[in-house]
Amino acid sequence: MELFVFVVAAAMVLGGAVGVVVRSHPVHAALSLVLTLFGVAVLFIAQDAHFLAAVQVIVYAGAIVVLFLFVIMLLGVDNAEDLHVEPFKVQRPVASVVGAGLMVLIGTAIIVSRKAAVPPSPQSQAVQDAALDPHDGNIKALARDLFSDHVLAFELTSVLLVIAVVATVLLARKPRPGELTVESKAGGR
């Protein structure tokens, strides 16, 4: 029975992954991604990692793919656009400055955290692990790891997703009546 579940889940993952790469329509590719993510959730369940399976379905198949579909629909993938015309002239210089500033902040945070980090002694780590309830030890260990050691990456991911949504709204907004569009500024080329 375990072999059957593995083969079916692996077929779901591989079929969905091929669908993401092969499909030309972005909505169909996103739905293939959902199939892949559900297959991974089945593999998590087969390994008795029920919490990770739930997170896989709720966060990735639910929230992230819905965000992808929202962006795809908002951008209107059926419209052909001229990629040589930049709608915002200052976009590239501002992005370069912000990117360089973020790299400096991340580098500084890494250097400061490495100096301040004190590795736990084996005795204190053993006491912490023994205090964990065996039924929810994985969840507590994951939460401790996520919100202590990797909190910066977690927060940067949330900021990146918010920036992506705001940028999509800005790029997809319709011009108001009387407002000059990129085409009218470029002379209707």
Instruction: State pLDDT tens for residues 114-124.
Output: 777 666 656 55
Cα–Cα distances in Å, from 118 out to 37, 91, 100, 114, 149? 37, 42, 29, 8, 12
SS3 114: helix
pLDDT of residue 22: 92
Pair of tokens at residue 25? 């329509």
Do 9 and 39 meet the contact criterion of CB atoms below 8 Å apart?
A: yes
Query: Could you state, in order of their start, the residue ranges of all structural domains in the chain?
Result: 1-80
The 10 Å Cβ neighbour count of residue 44 is 19
Do 140 and 130 meet the contact criterion of CB atoms below 8 Å apart?
A: no
| pLDDT 10s digits, 130-158 | 555 556 667 777 777 877 888 888 788 88
pTM of the model: 0.48
The 10 Å Cβ neighbour count of residue 13 is 19
pLDDT of residue 141: 77
Q: How far is the C-alpha of 85 from the C-alpha of 118, rounded, in Å?
A: 52
Query: Virtual CA dihedral for 15, 18, 19, 23, nearest 10 degrees?
Result: -160
pLDDT at 20 over 70: yes
Do 12 and 36 meet the contact criterion of CB atoms below 8 Å apart?
A: yes
CATH topology of domain 1-80: Four Helix Bundle (Hemerythrin (Met), subunit A) (1.20.120)
